[in-house]
Amino acid sequence: MKKILAVASGGGHWTQMMCLKEIFDGHDVAFVGVKEMYRADAAPHRFYAIPDVSRLHKWSIVWAIMKLAFIIARERPTVIMTTGSAPGMLALRLGKMFGARTAWIDSIANVEQMSLSGTKARRYADLWLTQWPHLAGQHGPTYIGSVL
Protein backbone atom coordinates (compact mmCIF):
# COMPACT_ATOMS: atom_id res chain seq x y z
CA MET A 1 0.00 0.00 0.00
CA LYS A 2 1.30 3.41 -0.98
CA LYS A 3 0.68 6.65 0.85
CA ILE A 4 -0.53 9.09 -1.80
CA LEU A 5 -1.08 12.82 -1.75
CA ALA A 6 -3.33 13.88 -4.65
CA VAL A 7 -3.22 17.62 -5.38
CA ALA A 8 -5.38 19.62 -7.78
CA SER A 9 -6.43 23.20 -8.22
CA GLY A 10 -10.02 24.09 -9.05
CA GLY A 11 -12.41 23.47 -11.90
CA GLY A 12 -11.28 21.00 -14.54
CA HIS A 13 -8.12 20.08 -12.65
CA TRP A 14 -10.21 18.93 -9.68
CA THR A 15 -12.74 17.19 -11.94
CA GLN A 16 -9.96 15.22 -13.59
CA MET A 17 -8.51 14.23 -10.22
CA MET A 18 -11.91 12.99 -9.11
CA CYS A 19 -12.09 10.88 -12.30
CA LEU A 20 -8.90 9.17 -11.09
CA LYS A 21 -10.22 8.55 -7.57
CA GLU A 22 -10.85 4.82 -8.12
CA ILE A 23 -7.19 4.14 -8.94
CA PHE A 24 -6.40 5.00 -5.33
CA ASP A 25 -8.44 2.09 -3.97
CA GLY A 26 -6.34 0.06 -1.54
CA HIS A 27 -3.97 2.95 -0.84
CA ASP A 28 -3.79 5.51 1.96
CA VAL A 29 -4.83 8.73 0.21
CA ALA A 30 -5.18 12.36 1.18
CA PHE A 31 -6.47 15.01 -1.22
CA VAL A 32 -5.45 18.65 -1.44
CA GLY A 33 -7.73 21.12 -3.20
CA VAL A 34 -8.25 24.85 -3.39
CA LYS A 35 -11.86 25.01 -2.19
CA GLU A 36 -13.30 23.79 1.08
CA MET A 37 -16.38 22.55 -0.79
CA TYR A 38 -14.19 19.86 -2.42
CA ARG A 39 -14.01 18.05 0.94
CA ALA A 40 -17.26 16.22 0.12
CA ASP A 41 -15.82 15.01 -3.21
CA ALA A 42 -12.73 13.62 -1.49
CA ALA A 43 -14.69 11.67 1.15
CA PRO A 44 -14.00 9.23 2.70
CA HIS A 45 -10.35 10.26 2.32
CA ARG A 46 -8.57 13.01 4.24
CA PHE A 47 -8.80 16.45 2.66
CA TYR A 48 -6.85 19.68 3.03
CA ALA A 49 -7.75 23.06 1.53
CA ILE A 50 -4.99 25.43 0.44
CA PRO A 51 -5.14 28.84 -1.23
CA ASP A 52 -5.27 28.84 -5.00
CA VAL A 53 -2.17 30.39 -6.53
CA SER A 54 -1.20 31.61 -9.96
CA ARG A 55 1.11 34.06 -11.65
CA LEU A 56 -1.58 36.68 -11.04
CA HIS A 57 -1.82 36.04 -7.28
CA LYS A 58 1.81 35.90 -6.22
CA TRP A 59 1.05 37.11 -2.69
CA SER A 60 -0.69 33.84 -1.92
CA ILE A 61 2.24 31.65 -3.01
CA VAL A 62 4.09 31.96 0.30
CA TRP A 63 0.99 30.94 2.28
CA ALA A 64 0.33 28.01 -0.08
CA ILE A 65 3.94 26.81 0.24
CA MET A 66 3.73 26.94 4.02
CA LYS A 67 0.45 25.00 4.06
CA LEU A 68 1.74 22.42 1.56
CA ALA A 69 4.96 21.93 3.53
CA PHE A 70 2.89 21.30 6.68
CA ILE A 71 0.62 18.85 4.84
CA ILE A 72 3.51 16.94 3.29
CA ALA A 73 5.38 16.80 6.61
CA ARG A 74 2.24 15.54 8.34
CA GLU A 75 1.19 13.02 5.67
CA ARG A 76 4.68 11.80 4.66
CA PRO A 77 3.44 10.56 1.25
CA THR A 78 5.48 8.11 -0.79
CA VAL A 79 3.82 9.48 -3.94
CA ILE A 80 2.52 12.93 -4.83
CA MET A 81 0.44 13.23 -7.96
CA THR A 82 -1.28 16.21 -9.48
CA THR A 83 -3.50 17.16 -12.38
CA GLY A 84 -2.23 20.74 -11.99
CA SER A 85 -1.99 23.64 -11.92
CA ALA A 86 0.31 25.93 -9.86
CA PRO A 87 -0.56 24.37 -6.46
CA GLY A 88 0.28 20.96 -7.90
CA MET A 89 3.60 22.16 -9.24
CA LEU A 90 4.48 23.57 -5.82
CA ALA A 91 3.50 20.26 -4.21
CA LEU A 92 5.80 18.33 -6.56
CA ARG A 93 8.73 20.63 -5.75
CA LEU A 94 8.19 20.29 -2.02
CA GLY A 95 7.52 16.57 -2.32
CA LYS A 96 10.90 15.96 -3.94
CA MET A 97 12.53 17.67 -0.95
CA PHE A 98 10.72 15.19 1.32
CA GLY A 99 11.79 12.22 -0.83
CA ALA A 100 8.42 11.47 -2.45
CA ARG A 101 8.02 10.10 -5.96
CA THR A 102 6.04 12.54 -8.10
CA ALA A 103 3.63 12.45 -11.05
CA TRP A 104 2.25 15.28 -13.17
CA ILE A 105 -0.79 14.75 -15.41
CA ASP A 106 -1.24 17.83 -17.58
CA SER A 107 -4.82 18.98 -18.05
CA ILE A 108 -6.76 17.68 -21.02
CA ALA A 109 -7.56 21.33 -21.78
CA ASN A 110 -3.97 21.87 -22.92
CA VAL A 111 -4.49 20.66 -26.47
CA GLU A 112 -1.82 22.61 -28.34
CA GLN A 113 1.00 22.65 -25.80
CA MET A 114 1.85 21.75 -22.23
CA SER A 115 0.67 24.22 -19.62
CA LEU A 116 3.15 26.67 -18.11
CA SER A 117 3.00 24.84 -14.77
CA GLY A 118 3.27 21.50 -16.55
CA THR A 119 6.38 22.63 -18.39
CA LYS A 120 7.96 23.81 -15.13
CA ALA A 121 6.90 20.64 -13.31
CA ARG A 122 8.99 18.54 -15.70
CA ARG A 123 12.06 19.03 -13.50
CA TYR A 124 10.24 17.72 -10.43
CA ALA A 125 8.08 14.97 -11.91
CA ASP A 126 9.28 11.39 -11.93
CA LEU A 127 6.33 10.68 -14.24
CA TRP A 128 5.43 13.53 -16.62
CA LEU A 129 2.24 12.91 -18.59
CA THR A 130 0.18 14.58 -21.28
CA GLN A 131 -3.36 13.60 -22.23
CA TRP A 132 -2.76 14.27 -25.92
CA PRO A 133 -0.71 11.83 -28.06
CA HIS A 134 0.57 14.56 -30.38
CA LEU A 135 2.21 16.36 -27.42
CA ALA A 136 4.22 13.31 -26.36
CA GLY A 137 7.86 13.28 -27.28
CA GLN A 138 11.05 11.28 -26.96
CA HIS A 139 12.14 13.48 -24.06
CA GLY A 140 8.63 13.75 -22.61
CA PRO A 141 5.96 14.23 -21.77
CA THR A 142 4.63 10.69 -22.05
CA TYR A 143 1.17 9.81 -23.31
CA ILE A 144 -0.57 6.74 -21.87
CA GLY A 145 -4.19 7.82 -22.31
CA SER A 146 -6.58 10.49 -21.16
CA VAL A 147 -8.51 10.92 -17.94
CA LEU A 148 -11.82 12.03 -19.49
CATH number at residue 100: 3.40.50.2000
Number of domains in the chain: 1
Q: Is 96 a member of any domain? A: yes
Q: What is the pLDDT of residue 148?
A: 80
Residue 49 lies in a domain: yes
Q: Which residues pair with 29 in a beta bridge?
A: 4
- Convert the pLDDT of each residue in 47-94 to its tens digit: 999 999 977 777 889 999 999 999 999 999 999 999 999 999 999 999
Q: Which of 94, 97, 102, 128 is nearest to 6 (CA)?
A: 102
Q: Domain range holding 63?
A: 3-143
Q: Is residue 9 part of a domain?
A: yes
The whole-angstrom separation of Cα 90 and Cα 21 is 21
Residue 107 domain flag? yes
pLDDT computed for residue 108 by the predictor? 92
Q: CA angle, 46 as apex, 67 and 10 as ends, to 5°?
A: 60
Of 13-17, 18-22, 53-57, 59-63, give the lowest mean pLDDT range: 53-57
pLDDT of residue 88: 96
Mean pLDDT of 122-132: 96
Split at pLDDT 50, 70, 90, the class of 30 is very high
pTM of the entire predicted model:
0.95
Asked if residue 148 belongs to a domain, the reply is: no
> How large a percentage of the chain has pLDDT more than 70?
100
